[in-house]
Structure 1
Amino acid sequence: MIRSYFAEKIQKGLSVFAQRRPALNYLSEAKGLMAAEVREGCFAVLAIKGGETKRFIIGLDYLTDPAFLGLLDQAQEEFGFTHKGALAVPCQPQELQNILDARKV
């Protein structure tokens, strides 16, 4: 129930943002490098843990994935929702890559 509410809230916020600005360049907060455009229907996520950081561009459909929602719960507990920019999740980049790859199979 809470995860569903949480996913809906993020999805609404991202869809409003996407309508205002269809494509933006984001500055990678971890590396200070200019990253590729985030296309409509996607959002940027930073996987940060143990000094290792990687930026991912993820489709909005992952907001219904139970494994990804678990990372969002962890992010809320560890980071809160007061920062701006790309969404940060507390996991090794390979952990997030495994979640993304699992849906492709």
Structure 2
Amino acid sequence: MAKCRTNGKRKNGIVMLKIVVEKLQKSLLSGRKNTSDLDEFEEEMRESTNLPNDVKEGHFAVIAVDDGELKRFIVPLSYLTHPSFLRLLEQAAEEYGFHHEGALTIPCRPCELERILA
């Protein structure tokens, strides 16, 4: 029974991730932020997070973790359309869920993420 609940939470989390990615993609493709849904989303993000000084507008922080090795990256939002990066986000959702603060944690070797970002 508990396994069913976990799978349901994972599916809901993945659906939420897809919605966020779609909104960000629409914003990037349109070049402007004119939809009220996107404006509300951005306002929620501003209110709910405090960004570190090294995270510029249009970027987000990611931590790649594998066997105790971790490295922090600042990633442009444009990578939210990259297929390899989207697969990593799905793996992160399955492994860590959505209930943590700070940088997004991705389960992969830092060298692998460097290769994707290159």
**TM-score normalized by the length of structure 2:** 0.63
State the match for 1:49 in structure 2. 66
Q: Kindly report which structure 2 residues correspond to 1:1-105, keeping only aligned pairs within 5 A, or say none.
A: 5-8=19-22, 11=24, 16=42, 20=46, 24-25=51-52, 37-101=54-118
Q: What one-letter code is carried by the residue in structure 1 that aligns with 2:68?
A: G
Q: What one-letter code is carried by the residue in structure 2 that aligns with 1:38?
A: V
SS at match of 2:42: helix
Q: CA deviation at 1:6?
A: 4.9
- Moved beyond 2 Å, runs of 4+: 2-6
SS at match of 1:71: helix
Q: What one-letter code is carried by the residue in structure 2 that aligns with 1:70?
A: R
Q: What one-letter code is carried by the residue in structure 2 that aligns with 1:46?
A: I
Aligned length: 87
Higher relative strand content: 1
5+ residue gaps, structure 1, are 26-35
Larger Rg: 2
Larger RCO of the pair (alpha carbons < 8 Å, separation 6+): 2
Q: Percent identity?
A: 50
**TM-score normalized by the length of structure 1:** 0.70
Higher relative helix content: 2
SS at match of 2:54: strand
SS at match of 2:101: coil
Q: CA deviation at 1:77?
A: 0.6
Q: CA deviation at 1:4?
A: 5.2
